Structure 1
Amino acid sequence: MNSAADHAPAFETAASQWILLVGVGIEIFGVFIIVVGIIWSARYLFGRNAASRYDSYKISIGRSLLLGLEVLVAADIVKTIAIELTFVSLGLLAGLVVVRTFLSWTLTLEIEGRWPWQPDQPESAREGH
């Protein structure tokens, strides 16, 4: 008699599985961004002088990693929504976000020579350091 209540758990399970599948798809896309970025960065290995090649290659790979990490954080958030929210899953998500945020900050420092919260320096000031 209570068919609407019987269908609710099935709908929640199906929705949770779809959300989890979307999260895995976003994760795959994040890895794809990183891999394609590394392959695309190889174009800097040819031509120019050696110092310029290395710096350009390093910066290009760093940007690919930054973008990929941002997408992977989004995937973790989506996947956390799909599972039953507990303190353990929330703590795991928080830990992943902290580690990936730290990686993003250090990559930004490596690429741009400044922390993300510092104002961008003019090109002439960067060349002086």
Structure 2
Amino acid sequence: MDFESLFADVARVIEGTGVVIMAIGLATVLIRYLYDVVRKGTSSYQQLRVNLGRVILLGLEILIVGDIIRTIIVDTSLQNVLILGLIVLIRVVLSFALEVEISGAWPWQQRRSEPAPPDAA
């Protein structure tokens, strides 16, 4: 097994891990939501969306790692680098959109904790 085929397999494992995380995360989030509806009598659709968004964000980040490894080590060509750039750009836009859905604000507009009052001497 040569270097490139080894890292092609590593990239496939990483990408598979991202897909598995999203699939298991989806099942977990839906089961938790259904449990809340059936047992507690409450349904927090907003919480479902937040949890699902977090799962998708984590899966996307892992998929990006797999794409980067594949492009840099395995399939190095200008066309593949441009395709990777486009994929990363699309996933970044999705990540920002999901972050806005989860938190209700752009990442740079997050609330900062109040500064501590100055010491009165």
**Shared fold per TM-score greater than 0.5:** yes
Equivalent of residue 41 in structure 1, options 29, 50, 54:
29
Structure 1 residue 48, shift from structure 2 partner: 4.6
Question: Using the alignment, how far apart are the partners of 1:117 and 1:86 within structure 2?
Answer: 35
Note the 1:26-105 alignment, pairs <5 A.
26-42=14-30, 43-45=32-34, 46=37, 47-50=40-43, 53-105=44-96
Counterparts in 2 of 1:118 and 1:35: CA distance versus 1, 3 Å? same
Query: Alpha carbons of 1:84 and 1:44: their partners in 2 closer, same or farther (altered >3 Å)?
Result: closer
Partner of 1:73, secondary structure, is helix
Distance in 2 separating the partners of 1:98 and 1:48: 41
Q: Aligned-pair distance for 1:119?
A: 2.5
Q: Secondary structure at the match of 1:49?
A: coil
Aligned to 1:107: 98
Ranges in structure 1 where 5+ consecutive residues have no aligned partner = 1-12, 123-129
Sequence identity percentage = 33
In 2, distance between residues paired with 1:121 and 1:114? 12
| TM-score, normalising length: structure 2 | 0.82
The TM-score with structure 1 as length reference comes to: 0.77
Give the secondary-structure state (helix, strand or coil) at the position aligned to 1:71. Answer: helix
In the TM superposition, what whole-angstrom CA distance separates every residue of 1:32-61 from its partner, at most 9, and x where no partner exists? 1101111110212333523xx211111111
Output the CA distance in 2 between the equivalents of 1:84 and 1:17. 10
1:71–1:109 distance in 2 versus 1, CA, 3 Å = same
The aligned residue for residue 119 of structure 1 is 110
